[in-house]
Amino acid sequence: MKTYVFDASALFGFLQKRAAANKVNELLKEALRGRADILMSAVNYGEVYGGILREHGLDRAVATMSAVHALPIRLMDATPQRAFRAAEVKSKYKLYYVESKYKLYYVDSFAAALAIEYKATLVTSDSDFRRLGHDFPMFWLKV
């Protein structure tokens, strides 16, 4: 069974019905059929909630995340060990970003660390992940 890790941009793209929504929907269907496992860090999940909260207010954020809860996405806790791994991923790739326009944010490093931990494919449209493509597979969503 194939394992995927969604970062916030994957779920945002799906919810906002961007061009990436069809690809994300196909992955969700594969998970419903038992052919894929989709993971998401609770930190990235919270990032989605925060974005909706800022843009549309509390009622819409709560309603949207209640609907998302029914999707076949397995939320993974931000344990102390995962927080350390995320910091290590951020630190490892910091050297690459000194003169680059790409910067891996700590919240994004949770998705990357989870993909590394589970030997999974990271699903993203976030260009900040461009430098990480050699450590694990990436499923790039077009925005």
Q: Where are the domains of the chain?
A: 2-140
Is the Cβ–Cβ distance between 107 and 43 less than 8 Å? yes
Structure confidence at residue 143 (pLDDT): 56
First CA to last CA distance, the chain: 27
Q: Please tell me the pTM assigned to this model.
A: 0.90
96 has pLDDT over 70: no
Residue pLDDT, tens place only, 51-60: 999 999 999 9
CA dist list (Å): 70 to 20, 25, 91:
20, 13, 35
Per-chain mean pLDDT for the chain:
89
CATH superfamily of 2-140: 5'-nuclease (3.40.50.1010)
Confidence tier at 122 by pLDDT (50, 70, 90): very high
Cα gap 120→3, rounded to integer Å: 5
Is the model more confident about 135 or about 4? 4
